[in-house]
């Protein structure tokens, strides 16, 4: 469940920029790790407050959050998701929010955390020593990928909200819900700390005719009456390109053929279920043949209700 950056800072939705800055100053003075060393609970509250400040002090990101386009972690809400089919938008840097958030690299008119800490503690807290270095927060976003890219692997470039782009390597065989971790590609660290990571959750688009079941790939393939009766060698699509498939004579709808090694990453198989399809328009010659066919009264087995 998403959290509320306004509530984290003890503010209402009508709060001004000055209100946001004052609320954060108050919490930072109380919770900063240099003020309460070793207090993990205070450190987590400080990180969350910093994340809230980062989001609400960036006018563009604050507006998007207020309109309901993104959540407090900077993720696109589904109702407002209008990303291009092969890209994603991650709301990272100073403008986004999330546990463990760092200073980031957001809009130029956002408040500077270093200025706030200097105002609170002077040039260095406790006799000139530097502020505690903190790891930047992890940013999270979803990336929609094509079925065949998920099967075979691919590379995608992702545009982030603050203008950066990331190249995401999609390993072969990934599935929807799988999360890729890009080290040190998240929010910037605080006071010189290391950057966080980018966590990319993948969503695989359904294919027009391929279906994945574990490491196997399934599909239905239409064949003609002639191909079904006499047998044939036809081209059949696979995830890695077309192959020649032998249709045995006397094949019927529902017969399934296996293409060994043509599953996910060469580990599984591809299963091709045949479907006999008659011509779309009535064929008079076929009708005449059926009327004269000795086995025209044959009735296949049917379930009994």
**Stretch among 148-162, 189-203, 254-268, 277-291 having the lowest mean pLDDT:** 189-203
pLDDT tens profile 246-274 = 999 999 999 999 999 999 988 899 999 99
Statement to judge: residues 227 and 265 lie in one domain: yes
Per the structure, the count of domains in the chain is 2
The per-residue DSSP string of 46-94 comes to HHHHHHHHHHHTSHHHHHHHHTTSB-TTSPBPGGG----TT--EE--GG
Statement to judge: residues 63 and 197 lie in one domain: yes
- The CATH number for 136's domain is 2.60.260.20
pLDDT at 95: 33
304 domain residue, yes or no: no
Calpha distance 30→111 (Å, rounded): 19
Residue ending a domain, among 204, 235, 262, is 204
pTM higher than the cut 0.85? no
Calpha distance 154→20 (Å, rounded): 43
Statement to judge: residues 85 and 229 lie in one domain: no
Statement to judge: residues 160 and 45 lie in one domain: yes
Statement to judge: residues 199 and 251 lie in one domain: no
Residue ending a domain, among 173, 204, 235, is 204
Calpha distance 144→142 (Å, rounded): 7
Statement to judge: residues 64 and 198 lie in one domain: yes
80 domain residue, yes or no: yes
Determine phi and psi for 280, rounding to 5 degrees. -65, -35
Domain with 258, as residue range(s), is 211-292
> What is the average pLDDT across 2-19?
91
Helix, coil or strand: residue 294: coil
Confidence of residue 162 (pLDDT cuts 50, 70, 90): low
């Amino acid at each position: 469940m998403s959290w509320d950056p306004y509530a984290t800072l003890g503010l209402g939705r009508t709060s001004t920029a000055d209100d946001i800055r004052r609320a954060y100053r108050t919490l930072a003075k109380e919770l900063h790790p240099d003020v309460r060393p070793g207090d993990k609970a205070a450190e987590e509250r400080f990180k969350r407050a910093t994340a809230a400040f980062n989001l609400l002090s960036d006018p563009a990101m604050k507006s998007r959050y207020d309109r309901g386009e993104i959540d407090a972690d900077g993720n696109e809400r589904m109702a407002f998701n209008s990303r291009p089919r092969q890209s994603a938008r991650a709301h990272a840097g100073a403008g986004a929010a999330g546990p463990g958030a760092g200073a980031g690299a957001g809009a130029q008119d956002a408040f500077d955390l270093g200025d706030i800490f200097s105002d609170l503690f002077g040039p260095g807290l406790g006799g000139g020593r530097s502020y505690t270095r903190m790891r930047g927060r992890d940013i999270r976003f979803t990336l929609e990928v094509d079925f065949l890219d998920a099967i075979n692997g691919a590379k995608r470039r992702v545009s982030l909200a603050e203008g950066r782009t990331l190249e995401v390597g999609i390993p072969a065989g990934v599935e929807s819900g799988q999360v890729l971790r890009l080290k040190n590609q998240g929010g910037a660290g605080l006071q010189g700390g290391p950057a966080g990571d980018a966590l990319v959750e993948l969503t695989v688009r359904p294919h027009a005719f391929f279906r994945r079941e574990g490491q196997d790939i399934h599909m239905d393939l239409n064949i003609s009456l002639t191909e079904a009766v006499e047998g044939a060698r036809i081209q059949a699509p696979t995830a890695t390109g077309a192959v020649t498939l032998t249709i045995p004579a006397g094949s019927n709808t529902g017969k399934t053929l296996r293409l060994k090694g043509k599953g996910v990453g060469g580990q599984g198989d591809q299963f091709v279920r045949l479907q006999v399809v008659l011509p779309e328009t009535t064929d008079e010659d076929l009708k005449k043949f059926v009327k004269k066919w000795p086995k025209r009264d044959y009735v296949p087995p049917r379930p009994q209700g």
